Amino acid sequence: MRDEALGADENSAAPATGNTSDRREMLRAGFHERMAVVRSKAKASPLLSGAIVVTLLAAIYWLLIATPRYVSQAHVIVQNTDLGASAPTDLASALIDGAGNSDDQLLLRDYLLSVGMMQKLDEELDLRTHWSQSWIDPFSKLWFGYTDEDLHEYYLKRITVEYDEYNGVLVISSEAFDPETAQAITSHMVRDGGAFMNEMAQGLALEQVAFLETQVQRLGDRAMAERQAVTNYQNRNGLVSPEQSAQALTAIIADLERQRSELKIELSSMGAYLVADHPSLVEIRQQIAAVDRQIIQERQRLTGGERLNSQVEEFQQLQLKAEFAQNLYRTALTALEQGRVEGGRTIKAMSVIQPPTMPGEAIRPARLYNTFLVALVAFLLAGLAHLIVAVIRDHKD
């Protein structure tokens, strides 16, 4: 009985084993059929197959292989701390004038993206080593960083500095393969950028001070020379002020003319009741003649041989030159003192609106977006190529 049972079990197991092998054969045959269909479709439409392959490769890279990158950002603005005499009194104008103009922001942007800034960051943070670590995927790492040109080309891919015209701020973004390095890069850029703007402004102010010192020395010598020319003219002509001398002579002539008028009135009144050769009349006529001679003499001193009027004109020209040189010297001294004050303080300062952030997660690369973009471009190109091939075939037919 036991043998019969065992025989029955064997007979029943044999069909089961046969069913399993049949299923495997059926699955294998179905897989081969599907692969044959795929191969036939691939042969029928190689462009579509290529687009699918490209999409699969892009998805594998972006979703599985691409090394995550951390981004640290900072928002800064360059402000002008120069408060001149025409400084605005209202708050709105003060805020507008205090903010740096777009030229300052663009100048700072150019410096932050320069080779010099990259070299400083490389010396302090060893960017070459960080960006070329072995565990970084081959499409993201720095392969050729032996020269500054190669490193700078990669640097521009990982560092972005954009000027927001609407808000008037500069947005600094740096990418690294760990959050600490990303924040360190942004922090160093903010620090060195502020120092650069201040040093540049102070350097210009100091150059202006040096120029003003030269001008003050030159204008001071000129003012002294002009004053000395006035003194030499006074000593040469024996006059403290020819203008005052001319005014004194004019006053003397006016007084003599007044005396002559009075004498003529007296002569006319006495001539009415005295004979013409009366001693009193003769004396008055002599006095009038003496006054006339004196008037003629004083007028000759004023406009004649001693050329007092010419001396007045020449003296006034010398005085005007001396006063003009003195005013220039005074203005230069004022500008020099103001320049020294400006050169000794911070003229342009970089204000940090948003400090460098510590990234909590890697936001680069945008995996799904990049995969979708590659797929979209691949299928669009495949469709375009398919359309071109179809047009060519139609023309051949």
Say whether both 241 and 196 belong to one domain.
Answer: no
Contact assessment for residue 265 and residue 287, using Cβ atoms and an 8 Å cutoff: no
Nearest to 371 by CA among 50, 57, 53, 40: 57
The answer to whether residue 199 sits within a structural domain is yes
Say whether both 192 and 139 belong to one domain.
Answer: yes
pLDDT (0 to 100) of residue 19: 63
Pairwise CA distance, residues 322 & 325, whole Å: 5
Torsion (CA) 58, 63, 65, 69 in degrees, nearest 10: 110
pLDDT (0 to 100) of residue 342: 65
Say whether both 202 and 87 belong to one domain.
Answer: yes
Pairwise CA distance, residues 163 & 75, whole Å: 10
CA separation, residue 179 to residues 72, 163, 292 (Å) = 8, 24, 108
Say whether both 201 and 118 belong to one domain.
Answer: yes
The answer to whether residue 105 sits within a structural domain is yes
pLDDT (0 to 100) of residue 308: 56
Q: What CATH number has the domain bearing residue 338?
A: 1.10.287
SS3 247: helix
Pairwise CA distance, residues 290 & 253, whole Å: 13
The answer to whether residue 261 sits within a structural domain is yes
Say whether both 104 and 199 belong to one domain.
Answer: yes
Contact assessment for residue 312 and residue 182, using Cβ atoms and an 8 Å cutoff: no
The answer to whether residue 99 sits within a structural domain is yes
SS3 165: coil
Residue keyed to tokens 């000759």: 300
Q: What is the pLDDT of residues 125-174, one digit of tens each?
A: 999 999 999 999 999 999 887 788 999 999 999 999 999 888 889 999 99
pLDDT (0 to 100) of residue 192: 93
Pairwise CA distance, residues 371 & 377, whole Å: 10
pLDDT (0 to 100) of residue 75: 95
Say whether both 205 and 216 belong to one domain.
Answer: no
Residue keyed to tokens 């945008």: 366
Nearest to 385 by CA among 37, 53, 50: 50
The answer to whether residue 7 sits within a structural domain is no
Say whether both 131 and 146 belong to one domain.
Answer: yes
Q: Which residues of the chain have pLDDT under 50?
A: 1-17, 38, 83-100, 305
Nearest to 100 by CA among 349, 383, 361, 357: 349
Q: Structural domain of residue 184, as residue ranges?
A: 70-209+347-354
Say whether both 179 and 81 belong to one domain.
Answer: yes
Helices and strands per DSSP (H, E), number in the chain: 12, 4
**What is the value of pTM for the model shown?**
0.59
Backbone φ and ψ for 273, nearest 5 degrees, come out as: -125, 5
Q: What CATH number has the domain bearing residue 94?
A: 3.30.70.1130
Residue keyed to tokens 């005085």: 319
- What is the total count of domains within the chain? 3
pLDDT (0 to 100) of residue 40: 58
The answer to whether residue 360 sits within a structural domain is no
The answer to whether residue 292 sits within a structural domain is yes
Nearest to 184 by CA among 70, 99, 352: 70
Say whether both 100 and 189 belong to one domain.
Answer: yes
Give the E-state strand segments of the chain in sequence order.
70-80, 159-164, 169-176, 348-354
Q: What is the pLDDT of residues 287-317, one digit of tens each?
A: 888 877 877 777 666 665 455 556 666 767 7
Angle value at C-alpha 186, between 147 and 176, nearest 5 degrees: 60
The answer to whether residue 18 sits within a structural domain is no
CA separation, residue 6 to residues 1, 10, 14, 97, 192 (Å) = 9, 6, 12, 104, 90
